[in-house]
Amino acid sequence: MTLHTRSVAELAAGLAHKEFSAVELAEHFLARIDAANGALNAFVTVTAERALAQARRADAARAAGRAGPLTGVPIAHKDLFCTDGVRTSCGSRMLDNFVAPYDATVVERLDAAGTVSLGKTNMDEFAMGSSNETSYYGPVRNPWDPRCVPGGSSGGSAAAVAARLAPAATGTDTGGSIRQPAALVGVSGIKPTYGRVSRYGLVAFASSLDQAGVLAPAAADCALLLAAMAGFDPRDSTSVDRPVPDYVAELGAPLRGVRIGVLEEFLGPGLEAATGALVTAAIAELGRQGAEVVAVSCPNLPLSVPTYYVVAPAECSSNLSRFDGVRFGHRCREPRDLTDLYTRSRGEGFGPEVKRRIMTGTYVLSAGYFDAYYLKAQKVRTLISDDFKRAFGRVDLLVGPTSPTPAFAIGAKVDDPITMYLNDIYTIGANLAGLPAMSVPCGFVGQLPVGLQLIAPHFGESRLLAAAHAYQLATDFHRRLPAAYA
């Protein structure tokens, strides 16, 4: 078994048994990035010297008997996690020249766990997109078919893991931006409960929705990484002070007796037939493993997309007001006055999708429209959250598709924002309610992967990961690699 075909857990075991060193592992993945990134465009910054220095420290820690489960394991970070001394661009011209002066908590904790950071991955600009086509650095390509998108906004992280340019990568999920790309490239991705993982040092898009998570080949890998990332952070006012379970130890929890609700709203019109058939087959496999499968309805879930596209742009409009060309980021040349500085710096720095959302958000927050749009959207958000609470009064987990279709062609939807937004129709609800959710591979339509989505009650990550792990013990979809990167 070559190094890049191993999961995070298998690489950790290999390091523990001294089959290879952390330096050898880092060099292997850096060589793969050098050979393949030109075609995929998954990385925007490769930190080779930093990675090798971290790998040498990891080998020294292991030799001294101070190694943890992740010591020496290479990872990549989505390029909106501030990383001390490394460019943090958010996929935008606005921050193309911004070098972060500190580490995000997620970066800090994974560094402390001994991981080796290979670099920063490409993404939709300021995490706004469902296809990774809005990046200032160009689109990321799907490793299974380079003519197709990898999903977004964490498309660079997803593509890097799918092509095994990195064993795992961090991501963020505001409306499905971990789960949807995980589904489209055939890897596992988890969005934890809102507040479970610190948002400190994560460049904000929509503060009440953004949540950091991870993408990796298997649910067991996600458990390893989430254990290192999760926990209270006093620097983040949205962080929840609650003990973190041992996700790895709880992976073996059986499915027998677990009640799984199939979301009726997710299996109706809009779901491509071939994708639906694979999801139905995956649900049947959960039933064969002893889970009790029942139908569940959340009648307000179809309102998720319009609700999200009022709430998220409103928060984006507020968060992105700080990028004005004065303190950091892009600054226009020779401004005539302060108004010209603001106008041209923001006009030049932001791309079309970011401008679209800022304008929408400013409109719904403006006098005369706040009650009609923003306030109403927040009320519907409460109805959606209440639907989930009622559902979890009956079942332990909810299940359905992650995306209505497999990956689509680059450019196919970029000029139709509404059609593009509908790609997140199955993922947004979990963000609006702050629930943990994950996607795991469940088959292929032609050569393109399809994802199964699992949703748990608040702080139900252990049950979520255990169910996904049980499914993956019975299937091999998560082990399959694109032929060009095997």
**Across all residues in the chain, what is the average pLDDT?**
96
Mean pLDDT of 22-28: 98
Does 131 qualify as catalytic in the annotation?
A: no
Q: Which of 92, 130, 153, 403 is catalytic?
A: 153
Q: Are 311 and 206 in contact (CB under 8 A)?
A: yes
Mean pLDDT of 111-132: 97
% of the chain with per-residue pLDDT over 90: 95
Per-residue pLDDT, 1: 64
pLDDT, one tens digit per residue, over 305-331 is 999 999 999 999 999 999 999 988 999
Number of H helices, E strands in the chain: 15, 11
pLDDT at 36 exceeding the cut of 80: yes
DSSP for 189-224 reads: EEE--TTTB--TTBPPSSTTT--EEEEESSHHHHHH
Does 18 qualify as catalytic in the annotation?
A: no
Does 78 qualify as catalytic in the annotation?
A: yes
pLDDT, one tens digit per residue, over 176-229 is 999 999 999 999 999 999 999 999 999 999 999 999 999 999 999 999 999 999
Is 394 strand, coil or helix?
Answer: coil
Q: What is the enclosing helix (H) or strand (E) of 229?
A: helix 219-229
What is the reported pTM?
Answer: 0.96
Q: Which of 177, 239, 317, 403 is catalytic?
A: 177
C-alpha torsion angle, residues 108, 109, 114, 116 (rounded to 10): -50
The CATH superfamily label for domain 3-253 reads Amidase signature (AS) domain (3.90.1300.10)
Q: Which two tokens stand for residue 77?
A: 């970070």
Q: Which of 7, 78, 92, 130 is catalytic?
A: 78
Residue-range domain boundaries for the chain = 3-253
Confidence of residue 419 (pLDDT cuts 50, 70, 90): confident
